[in-house]
Amino acid sequence: MAERPDYRFLVAPGGSLRGRLRVPGDKSISHRAIMLASIAEGQTQISGFLEGADSLATLAAFRAMGVSITDPENGEVWVEGVGRDGLRAPLGPLDMGNSGTAMRLLAGLLAGQRFPVTLIGDGSLSRRPMRRIVDPLTRMGARIQASPAGTAPLLIEPTDALRGIEYRLPMASAQVKSCLMLAGLYAQGETCIHEPEPTRDHTERMLTAFGYAVRRQGLKVCVSGGGRLRSCRLQIPADISSAAFFLVGASIAPGSDLVLEEVGINPTRVGVINILRAMGADIELLDRRTAGGEPVADIRVKAAPLRGIKIPAQQVPLAIDEFPALFIAAACAQGETVLRGAAELRVKESDRIQAMADGLSRLGIQAEPLADGIRIQGGPLGSATGELAIDAQGDHRIAMAFAIAGLRAQGPIEIRDCANVETSFPNFVHLAAQAGLAISDQRL
């Protein structure tokens, strides 16, 4: 396999973030929208769809299974649903690229189909743990097999019948919960999942939007098999995970005053706002409203002095994808910030704890990686170029986090291996530069 050309970010120090901007549509919701619209009856209109590589991989997978889906145009997609049992066998493996969400959710949806299918991904995805879905799906009667290491590729064979189960998640995971709920659509009886902590509830909300009954009781959510999904119109809000980089950037850069438009503020996703506010951030939610069953708001953030904190355990699952950005906030805060209970960060697109600790150390910040978190002592950010450039390790969130760090750096920052930013935020460089970050990109 030919080596991928290096794609780098170059960030000059200083600047502030000002004005108004809308970050791309929510990636988690975009995945789910394509999946559920494909197995619904009738035509579904989706607005605000994220046109990044991850979401497009999900779209391509359902086209390969016989679903007619228009090319995205300014975030609008039309899906001709084939019904709950209308998917067809693809001609080859389904490549989910870099997306763990797509692979894990799709495994649940495909576990009850009448045809064999193989799910593959890129090198990063092929290292991520899949036993967390393989084991409970097997309990439901699925015939699913991972590699000996418990990773992709996933081989799924037809089964006589799935059966509903009662399952207690060993860790808070919206991906595992959603995987089992989607399998539950094809199971006999009721499937109930118990969560140890609340996680994002996009699947529950969207199933309801498609007219499918979901039973919720505290931290338990249940679905019964055999129902039908009815087409609808979906409006996908801007992604709070993408907005997080600008929330942090405007908080740390003196003179910043930025409004982020139409951002999803689902209560299971607002950990980044809660944590930044606890650190002293000046964040205001404006014009709260509902779009596509999801709460949204315009978010105004202004520069403010931040202080280090011990991050509350209950906020960890609500901000699990936003910690790379939050670690930059911690580096710019006065005092020490400590995160525990976030071992999941070790098995994301990269080991995000180690990758962020290494990069922060190159910028002169004391960052001590812990087994399930990190300890960061705030201080001045230096420079990182040439042989000491930051290595994003192919992880889009690491790349964007260190780009934002340039707002407070004392010298330029060079970030290597940034190509996967296209998976979730294809116009990041343009929007960041528009807002005031002195960033450029370079392909070598």
Q: Catalytic positions, please? A: 321
Give long-range contacts, CB 8 A cutoff, 24+ apart: 209-213.
209/234, 209/292, 209/293, 210/36, 210/37, 210/40, 212/185
Which residue type is seen at 269?
R
Count Cβ neighbours within 10 Å for each residue of 187-196 and write b for 16 or more, e otherwise: bbeebbbebe
Cα 48 from Cα 43, distance rounded (Å): 17
Cα 151 from Cα 312, distance rounded (Å): 31
CA atoms within 13 A on the CB side of 364: 13
Torsion angles phi and psi, residue 55, rounded to 5: -65, -35
368: tokens are 């001590």
SS3 440: strand
Provide CB contacts within 8 A for 3, sequence distance 6+: none
Indicate the angle between helix axes 27-38 and 174-184, nearest 10 degrees: 10
Indicate the pairing of strand 68-69 with strand 77-82.
antiparallel
What are the residues facing 139 on neighbouring strands?
none
Per the CB < 8 A criterion, the answer to whether 285 and 235 are in contact is: no
Cα 86 from Cα 189, distance rounded (Å): 21
> 302: closest CA among 256, 261, 263, 252?
256
Cα 242 from Cα 307, distance rounded (Å): 23
